[in-house]
Amino acid sequence: MRTIFLADAHLGTPVDRNYRLLLQFLAELKGNTETLFIMGDLFDFWLGFPSNPFRQYDAVLDALRSLLASGCRLVYFEGNHDFHLGHVFRERLGAEIHTGPAILTVQGRRLFLCHGDQINAADHGYRLLRRLLHNQFIATAVAHFPPKLAVRIKERLQHTSRAAYPAKLARWDYRVIIRDFARTLQRQGCDGLVTGHFHLGFREELDTPPFIILSLGDWMERFTYGEMVGGELLLKNYVTDES
């Protein structure tokens, strides 16, 4: 049985190509996948309102529910576009939710798993915003927010994220930042790093015995994902007749 790692689909509407390909991919995981790790930003925006106003994602939730019914375990690492996931994922789907990074043993390998938005310690503005949005007060207050507020929050976060991204790319070399972060994890006894967030797909080995860096890329244009079989981490590309 294999383990799958997926990040940064940023799903919008059911007519979008990446949405349709994701449904196809999830259907193909049934019966052959032990665990699906969603490493954040599966959705372009999800905030855990109790009333679940994000009905455009119902087909994805149904696909995940069907996958879990086949015996697959679902582990969700919150991203910077989907957080305070709420009862929909924890109670209805039975997902294991991580609000931040975690070190987990997967197929005998000690892996540092994270969305990746906290890796760049120099991005002080974002780290402050993250602390504000992810604190317990906001998580509790969501239960009392009117659902229409979700649209305003979504628009604001999308505008801020898209406006800042080109400047960040010009300022920082994300591959170097990921590699430097990985070396600190290696010194702490980890065997590998699996991260999303950067929309940068690559697999790299550090030293001997090898420490594996797996940066997952995205499910928007490249349709890359991680797969682990027999303790080996691989970066794969989802190729179909449609793609």
- 147 — pLDDT class (breaks 50, 70, 90): low
Residue with the bigger pLDDT between 125 and 173: it is 173
pLDDT tens profile 67-123 = 999 999 999 999 988 888 877 888 888 999 999 999 999 999 999 999 999 999 888
Q: Answer whether residue 118 is part of any domain.
A: yes
Rounded to the nearest angstrom, the gap between the alpha carbon of residue 146 and the centroid of all alpha carbons in its chain is 26
Q: Answer whether residue 242 is part of any domain.
A: no
Q: Answer whether residue 243 is part of any domain.
A: no
CA pair distance 70, 182, nearest whole angstrom: 34
What element of type H or E holds 184? helix 174-187
The two structure tokens encoding residue 20? 């349709």
The pLDDT, as a whole number, for residue 144 is: 63
The pLDDT, as a whole number, for residue 191 is: 97
Instruction: List, in order, residues 6 or more apart from 55 with CB less than 8 Å away.
Output: none
For the chain, what is the largest distance between any 2 Cα atoms, rounded to a whole number of angstroms? Answer: 54
Q: Answer whether residue 190 is part of any domain.
A: yes
pLDDT tens profile 189-204 = 999 999 999 999 999 9
The pLDDT, as a whole number, for residue 6 is: 98
For residue 191, what are the domain limits?
2-237
Q: Answer whether residue 111 is part of any domain.
A: yes
Indicate the average pLDDT of the chain.
88
Query: Could you give the dihedral angle defined by the CA atoms of residues 171, 133, 218 and 30, in that order, rounded to the nearest 10 degrees?
Result: 160
The pLDDT, as a whole number, for residue 243 is: 45
Whichever domain contains 43, its CATH number is 3.60.21.10
pLDDT tens profile 5-51 = 999 999 999 999 999 999 999 999 999 999 999 999 999 988 877 66
The count of structural domains within the chain is: 1
